Amino acid sequence: MKEAEGHRQIFLDTETTGLEIREGNRIIEIGCVEMIDRKLTGNNYHQYIKVDRESEEGALAVHGITTAFLFDKPVFSEIIGTFLSYIQGAELIIHNAPFDIGFLNNELLLADYSQKIETLCDINDSLVLARQMHPGQRNTLDALCKRYDIKNEHRTLHGALLDSEILADVYLAMTGGQKGLSFGEENSGESGVANYSFEKLSSLRSPTLVIKASDEELLAHQKYLENIEKDGVKPIWH
């Protein structure tokens, strides 16, 4: 993992064989997207995981990950070190965090690992944030993408890395956009063109106040234009 300064956030998503841990369901995919100081770094983490059970029919319809596909992938105990090293000390942002954290902690328990995810990272549930911002509305990732005009037509099936990338876009939109608008050579790309980051205004901001002229003011303006015309000048705005 590369070293970097600043506030480090990891957008995390998992795919599982089913919804209930108590029924023996397991994690089969982990996807993470890194952001430092509200800028995506490209230092992402993605791993498929082999498990000893089939996905439930409903789960398979969502993610499409078959047991045959997972046959040559590592088991969870083999990826613990690299995964925990990647997320340690970061703020984890997860949509419906209790679900993913519950499954991750279960995998740690099954691998005889003593720590839990919440002892290694701060956890921020973006679903809770969305419900606070949009009470009484649907706050799934798909609904939020539509609300914030984020394109996700390419997501025909759910995937942990793709969903993490979409979540990062949604989170930036919900919390005010990317940071900064930079000019100058030190922020320019190879083409010499400056790299710009634009902030998307919140759809929840108050509407712009429009003050209309009163009937008296409109009448006075009309008389003023008529007086100008008497002097032989025809205003172009009349």
Q: Judge whether 11 and 167 are in contact, CB under 8 Å.
A: yes
β-pair partners for 27: 16
In angstroms, the CA 178 to CA 199 distance is 6
Catalytic (active site) residue 134: no
Q: Which residue is catalytic, options 46, 63, 158, 221?
A: 158
Q: Judge whether 164 and 25 are in contact, CB under 8 Å.
A: no
Contacts (Cβ under 8 Å, ≥6 apart) of 200: 148, 172, 173, 176, 177
How much is the CA Rg of the chain, to the nearest whole Å? 26
Measured CA angle at 98 (ends 151, 13), to 5 deg: 35
In angstroms, the CA 38 to CA 41 distance is 9
Q: Is the dihedral of CA 82, 96, 103, 15 positive or negative?
A: negative
Residues designated catalytic: 158
